[in-house]
Amino acid sequence: MKLVLFGGKGGVGKTTCSSSSGLYFAEKKQKTLVICTDPAHSLGDSYGQALENEINKIEGVENLSALEINSNIRLEEFKKKHGDAIKKLLDTATQLDEEDIESMFQLPIPGMDELMGFKAIVDLIEESNFDKYIVDTAPTGHALKLIFSPQLINDYVKVMAKMRWKYKYMVKTFSGKNTTDTSDDFLMDLKRTITRIEKLLKDEDLCEFVPVAIPEAMSVLETQRLISELIKYGIHIQRIVINNVITSEGCQFCRDRKNQQQFYINQIRDKFAHLKIVLIPLQNSEIRGIEKLNKIKNLIFG
């Protein structure tokens, strides 16, 4: 397994799971990179050190690095690199004038920032500088946008390619010449990027998605929807993490909460009997810093 993605409802412990799993694989002598795609970056807080928009070595831990990806920055870099080709594409595939093309160029394309974030991950994996890549995704809705961004952008590519083909057909009809320029190369490059991402995501030998939940009604329902969407898309799931599980029965309140949690744990077990269910006990303090992350690092993959 080369790539592991953690996802789930906000506040269920995705970052904690990602951070601790990074420690686990690093201890196994696997050079590991933990990547955060959540705009509300908290990976640095989890490890207890400031992270820049570049690969950072985690202090005091061999074989472990971390990166907080800013998808907006990646998108702006993409637009700067391919701006002329995109504008050329809009010019030849539409009836817009120069001012309208510039206005359209500035509009956000749904899914494109997520695609650029994922492209950055795939580029890193293809560089092969690490043995394991762990991704801390944004809450469920954003995570699904990340997963489905290749499909969404692919639909745009198909439409633009069709419009481009009509333009080239008209030029050939009246001039007898075939026309090829940077906009054709741009569409092909974008298509290749989409293909690379989808191939990686759907390869169960290389990629695993780990849903993270807590034993409460809203989280369980959202986890069921998340898994359903991932299965439709062909993403491999092997285990579910249930975080903040009460183990103490020291008081009536604890017993009541434990019984309530057990009801939802059983729901998940019944619904997903074919998956491994990992329970992470509720800790007596916030899990931040290497020392506390080490206490749970063996629970998910150990």
Q: Give the model's pLDDT for residue 176.
A: 65
Q: Give the model's pLDDT for residue 178.
A: 66
Q: What is the mean pLDDT of the chain?
A: 88
DSSP state letters, 55-116: -EEPTT-TTEEEEE--HHHHHHHHHHHHHHHHHHHHHHHS---HHHHHHHHHSPPTTHHHHH
The percentage of the chain sitting over the pLDDT mark of 70, rounded to a whole number, equals 94
Mean pLDDT of 83-105: 79
pLDDT band at 174 (very low <50, low <70, confident <90, very high): low
Of 52-56, 121-125, 153-157, 161-165, give the range with the top mean pLDDT. Answer: 121-125
pLDDT band at 150 (very low <50, low <70, confident <90, very high): confident
Mean pLDDT of 34-39: 88
Q: Give the model's pLDDT for residue 265.
A: 98
How many degrees, rounded to 5, is the angle at CA 210 between CA 192 and CA 281? 160
Q: Give the model's pLDDT for residue 256.
A: 93
Q: What is the model's pTM?
A: 0.87
Domains of the chain: 3-74+109-294 (3.40.50.300)
Query: Strand pairing of 64-68 and 207-213?
Result: unpaired
